[in-house]
């Protein structure tokens, strides 16, 4: 496609859907074009014959080439939808994924909107903490991340969304916490360092430190589960997101550390995704 050939919205989307090598090629093209036009997806469907001006077309084609090369859409647009929120995203953190909404749902199902204290460890964009805070305005939510740039990103998302019941602290896992919590939850690194998926898809562009853990992906889960015993209130909940094949070892780990009511929940794809327990 020559840059001199004028494109309308319909043609631009068709070009993107044809050239992007992704299971969501059409959606990827729509999100990139929405970003360029500063319009919603419904606008694309309402005005398919509208021609892009030269600057818009050049910007769209440049983003399209970067997506074809594999860069995640969230990095190209700087935004990602999660739960009911639009979050700023940078290469400093993981890109929030729909599977993680299973963790949010599990947390909301276990505590009402009382004056509870809840901690989200390794918060990244702040997705989990902010989703919980948006649904439970009376919770006091603390979000931690050892990466200063990630903590700053979570703070920007908090301030932009006006969710003032969230405090963001810089530090590793439970270390920045003080006092006791009704719930601690985390989506920690859980991918084994030899997993071939690390060389595929969007994860190639995400920080490896947020993806990979030693001990077959269980090292950080174990460390958090050990630390959390000193920060949970009696009968407080501990919840983890983990890999689809890690439910059994995570249950064994929590049982071995003395947690009670240990159980695993599945995501919308039917894969074991969240394991939880209570401090006995």
Q: Which residue has the higher pLDDT, 253 or 192?
A: 253
Tell me which of 41, 70, 99 is where a domain ends: 70
**Same structural domain, 62 and 175:** no
> According to the model, what pLDDT value does residue 4 have?
63
Other beta carbons within 10 Å of 204: 13
Contact 274/240 with Cβ under 8 angstroms? Answer: yes
When divided into structural domains, the chain yields a total of 2
Residues comprising the chain, all counted: 280
**Same structural domain, 256 and 219:** yes
Q: Give the span between the Cα atoms of 48 and 239, in whole angstroms.
A: 45
**Same structural domain, 63 and 109:** no
**Same structural domain, 50 and 106:** no
Query: Could you tell me if residue 239 is inside a domain?
Result: yes
Cβ-Cβ contacts under 8 Å for 260 (sequence gap 6 or more): 277, 278, 279, 280
Contact 180/231 with Cβ under 8 angstroms? Answer: yes
**Same structural domain, 175 and 246:** yes
Q: How many CA atoms lie within 13 A of 161 on its CB side?
A: 28
Task: List the structure tokens of 262.
Answer: 């240990």
Q: Which residue has the higher pLDDT, 114 or 264?
A: 264
Residue 3 pLDDT > 60: no
Find the CATH number of the domain harbouring 60: 1.10.8.10
Residues 121-178 pLDDT 10s: 999 999 999 999 999 999 999 999 999 999 999 999 999 999 999 999 999 999 999 9
Its domain, for residue 149, covers 90-279
> According to the model, what pLDDT value does residue 77 have?
95
Find the CATH number of the domain harbouring 151: 3.40.50.150
Residue 180 pLDDT > 70: yes
Q: What is the DSSP letter of 213?
A: -
């Amino acid at each position: 496609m020559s840059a001199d050939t004028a494109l309308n919205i319909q043609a631009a989307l068709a070009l993107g859907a044809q050239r992007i090598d992704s299971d969501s090629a059409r959606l990827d093209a729509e999100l990139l074009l929405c970003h360029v036009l500063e319009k919603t997806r419904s606008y694309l469907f309402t005005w398919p014959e509208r021609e892009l001006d030269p600057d818009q077309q050049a910007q769209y084609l440049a983003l399209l080439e970067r997506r074809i090369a594999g860069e995640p859409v969230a990095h190209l647009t700087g935004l990602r939808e999660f739960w009911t929120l639009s979050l700023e995203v940078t290469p400093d953190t993981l890109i929030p994924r729909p599977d993680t909404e299973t963790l949010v749902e599990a947390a909301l199902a276990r505590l009402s909107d009382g004056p509870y204290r809840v901690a989200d460890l390794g918060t990244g964009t702040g997705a989990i903490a902010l989703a919980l805070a948006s649904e439970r305005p009376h919770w006091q939510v603390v979000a931690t991340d050892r990466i200063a740039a990630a903590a700053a990103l979570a703070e920007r998302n908090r301030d932009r969304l006006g969710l003032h019941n969230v405090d963001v602290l810089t530090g590793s896992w439970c270390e920045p916490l003080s006092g006791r919590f009704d719930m601690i939850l985390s989506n920690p690194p859980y991918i084994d360092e030899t997993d071939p998926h690390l060389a595929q898809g969007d994860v190639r562009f995400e920080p490896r430190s947020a993806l990979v853990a030693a001990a077959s992906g269980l090292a950080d889960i174990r460390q958090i589960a050990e630390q959390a015993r000193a920060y949970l209130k009696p009968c407080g909940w501990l919840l983890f997101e983990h890999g689809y094949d890690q439910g059994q070892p995570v249950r064994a780990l929590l049982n071995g550390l003395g947690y009670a009511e240990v159980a695993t929940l599945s995501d919308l794809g039917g894969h074991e995704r969240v394991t939880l327990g209570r401090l006995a």
